[in-house]
Structure 1
Amino acid sequence: MKQISIYDTTLRDGEQAPGNAMLPEQKLELALTLEALGVDIIETGFPSSSPSDFKATQLIAEAVSTARISTLSRAHRRDVELAIASGGTRNHQVEIMATGSELHLEHKRGITRAEGVRELVDAVRFAADLGATDISVGIEDASRGSHDYLRELVIESMAAGATTFAVADTTGYSVPSEFGALIAAVRSWVPDDVTVSTHCHEDLGLGTANTLAGILNGADEVQVTLGGIGERAGNTSLEEVVAVLAYKSELYGATTRIQTEGLYRAYRQMCEIIELTPSRNKAIFGINAFATEAGIHQAGMLRNPITYEYIEPARFGRERSLVVGRHSGRNVLRFLLEEMGVGQDLALIEELYEEYIAGRTEARSIELSTLRAILEARLSQSVGAA
């Protein structure tokens, strides 16, 4: 079974979204957490874009031992020079950005196809001359580029020394069938020892689906972020891809080496650093991802959690939560009373149901533990009065 390399770009693509800025020391703190999770490559930043990214790369390069680092460069010699100056050449993947579509060539860069290929080849060759042995080409907007042009970029830069090709759906343009076909094409242009990586965005909500389509079509690596943070609608979520491969490894013929139990702790650490309020309904990390209020669902889960819970919360550092609100039923009260040794007092159950569920006037639900404490106090008072 293939082991998919996890390339985390939380510190670069995730950070460059509005509101997500991190100090170099904070990036270091999060990088060490990512390394402990089993992330294979940690993208530290864009060294030529700011002294802060340069410093963060230096700090992380000195601190990590099992993960490789990666830095982003434009296809300019000065960018490449600064990237290598910040991270050295040992365990450092230098990712050089290629202009990957005719649309970008014309409307963003104002250069020809030949110039786009030439500047990329020159930058790759320059990185190799400086001692870089792990050189990636990040093909920006590849999903909107012609296969003819993309193939030329890949073949020419590979001859110059590129060993990885990160195929980017930069604007979230693709659907899975399109992106899968693109990855299959790139895979067919390179030998087995060259890595093909995916880089997808969530503009149409298909980042994870496209990434998985890439794996099915020969991708060896996925570029992802914690919680899917990133520009606009965000990047492919690390935890979603890892969860799918944890549960569907036979279907995809792939797995990862991520220690899933630590994922949620890493996410909360990131949220604290960038002052991000966790989503209520995000897969795996959402506040309500493992919470249930509906009475029908609670009845099943009180008998066996697998009735309404496919993903095991503990496997991802979470806990299941039954909450009580206007949609809950009597079963949760029966469960609590039995737990407290009261037994099946039908009159009491009906009284409590009318007071705490059917007659509840507050919009917000309450945790099961809170209701338990209320009932314990009430029963204690009843015993005392008797």
Structure 2
Amino acid sequence: MRRISFFDTTLRDGEQAPANAMGPEDKLDLALRIEALGVDYIETGFPASSPSDFEATRLISQHLTKARFTTFCRAVPQDIETAIEAGGTANHQIQVAATASDMHLRHKRRITRQQGIDEVAEAVALARSLGVEHVSVGLEDSSRGEDDLLQPMTEKAIEAGATCFVVADTSGAMTPDQYAGLIRKFRSWAPSPVRIATHCHDDFGLSTANALAGLEAGADEVQATLGGIGERAGNTALEEIAALLAYKEDHNGLRTDIDLAAMYEAYNVLRRVIRLEEPRNKAIFGAYAFGTAAGIHQQGMLRNPATYEYVEPDRFGRRRSILIGRHSGRSVLRHLLDQLGLEVSDTELDELYRVHIAEREGGDCEDLEVLKDRLARELGAGLVAA
């Protein structure tokens, strides 16, 4: 069983998305909560970009006790020196951004391939010379890079002292089979003990699938964010990939030490900080991720939750909710009345269904236990425990 390392980039890549700004104290609080989940690396931000990120890095570097912190730097000496000024060298991984596709070299950077390769190697060497033992190379847009750019860039960075390569599908362009193939190439160019990390974006809704494919193809680490926040459609969601590894470890031979039950609380703190509305249908964290309003499903779940519940809410600090509405049918109502010790005829059941469910004011769903309490009060019955 191979243990997968987790790199959390909520505080850097997650914050880069519109409306996701966090202050240094907020970042410190979140970093400690994320560390408690069992992640291995926490990216603090881009210290050279702003006083806020500099201060966040300073605070986080002083308070982490288990996870290593990572700073984002361009392949520029000043960025690396500023990152070290903010956090020192102990327990510090510097991540150097590499321009890894001809599209970005030509249209964004306007430099040659050789210049791109040289600046990365020089930045890695500088970080190592300043006492940073762990230097990661974040290969931006590597999913659209050519092998004759990516391979020499990787090999030169290893010669300079790079210890990890982040294979970034920056534009979310790849499918799982394509991304797995790319990871296998990097694994051949950068054999162990050099680490390979996935970094996937969700533009096609494939970030979790691509990350899993990359891990199965030999990557050691997954970069992710709480709730999948991040630029455009977001990043690989930490909770999704952690849940998938936990449930499928016997199938994939991959395991995680992430504390599944503590993720939801950390996510809710993040939501409050960035004022993120609660999604209804998001995997693991959605308001109704463990809820159902369909009568056919409810009938099975009342007898055995496993009929429709493969992912178990208790493992994630959640609870299941059976929501009663016009799609619920009469069998759920009969179930409630039986629990209340009330015997009614079919005609009476139809009338209760019409009044309390089908024509309920507003037409919204109502939690099973709330409806049960209401029926007990309105029908004057003694409540019998479920």
Q: Normalised by the size of structure 2, how large is the TM-score? A: 0.97
Structure 1 position 323 matched with structure 2 position 323: yes
Give 2:271's aligned amino acid. C
Structure 1 position 371 matched with structure 2 position 371: yes
Over the matched positions of the two proteins, sequence identity in percent amounts to: 55
Contact 2:184 2:218 survives alignment (8 Å): yes
Q: CA deviation at 1:177?
A: 1.0
Structure 2 distance, partners of 1:213, 1:41, is: 21
Contact 2:96 2:123 survives alignment (8 Å): yes
Q: Corresponding residue for 1:242?
A: 242
Q: Corresponding residue for 1:7?
A: 7
Structure 1 position 177 matched with structure 2 position 177: yes
Q: How does 1:312-351 map to 2 (within 5 A)?
A: 312-343=312-343, 346-351=346-351
Q: Corresponding residue for 2:64?
A: 64
Q: CA deviation at 1:335?
A: 2.0
Deviation by residue 1:341-377 (Cα, 9 ceiling, x = unmatched) = 3356545433211212233352311111221121011
Q: Corresponding residue for 2:104?
A: 104
Q: How does 1:122-271 map to 2 (within 5 A)?
A: 122-271=122-271
Q: Corresponding residue for 2:83?
A: 83
Contact 2:202 2:233 survives alignment (8 Å): yes
Contact 1:338 1:344 survives alignment (8 Å): no
Give 2:195's aligned amino acid. T
Structure 2 distance, partners of 1:39, 1:112, is: 37
Q: CA deviation at 1:40?
A: 1.0
The change in CA–CA distance for 1:66 and 1:334 in structure 2 (over 3 A counts) is same
Q: CA deviation at 1:339?
A: 2.2
Q: Corresponding residue for 2:44?
A: 44
Structure 2 distance, partners of 1:348, 1:33, is: 52
Structure 1 position 307 matched with structure 2 position 307: yes
Q: Corresponding residue for 1:288?
A: 288
Deviation by residue 1:247-292 (Cα, 9 ceiling, x = unmatched) = 1112221111101001111111100111100111100101110111
Give 2:208's aligned amino acid. T
Give 1:67's aligned amino acid. A
Q: CA deviation at 1:332?
A: 1.5
Give 1:124's aligned amino acid. V
Deviation by residue 1:111-169 (Cα, 9 ceiling, x = unmatched) = 10110011111100000110000000000000000011101111000110000000100
Contact 2:166 2:199 survives alignment (8 Å): yes
The change in CA–CA distance for 1:344 and 1:262 in structure 2 (over 3 A counts) is farther
Contact 2:340 2:381 survives alignment (8 Å): no
Contact 1:321 1:368 survives alignment (8 Å): yes
Q: Secondary structure at the match of 1:7?
A: strand
Q: Secondary structure at the match of 2:243?
A: helix
Structure 1 distance, partners of 2:5, 2:82, is: 26
160-169 vs 372-381, greater mean Cα deviation: 372-381
Give 2:82's aligned amino acid. L
The change in CA–CA distance for 1:345 and 1:41 in structure 2 (over 3 A counts) is farther
Q: CA deviation at 1:91?
A: 1.2
Give 2:73's aligned amino acid. S
Structure 1 distance, partners of 2:173, 2:265, is: 32
Contact 2:121 2:157 survives alignment (8 Å): yes
Contact 1:42 1:70 survives alignment (8 Å): yes
Contact 1:124 1:157 survives alignment (8 Å): yes
Give 1:300's aligned amino acid. G
Give 1:279's aligned amino acid. P
Structure 1 distance, partners of 2:376, 2:28, is: 47
Q: CA deviation at 1:52?
A: 0.3
Structure 1 distance, partners of 2:298, 2:79, is: 56
Contact 1:215 1:252 survives alignment (8 Å): no
Q: Secondary structure at the match of 1:223?
A: strand
Q: Secondary structure at the match of 1:380?
A: coil
Q: Normalised by the size of structure 1, how large is the TM-score? A: 0.97
Aligned residues: CA RMSD: 1.5
Structure 2 distance, partners of 1:222, 1:332, is: 43
Question: Unaligned 5+ residue runs, structure 2?
Answer: none
Contact 1:37 1:258 survives alignment (8 Å): yes
Deviation by residue 1:161-199 (Cα, 9 ceiling, x = unmatched) = 000000100010111111110000000111211100000
Give 2:41's aligned amino acid. I
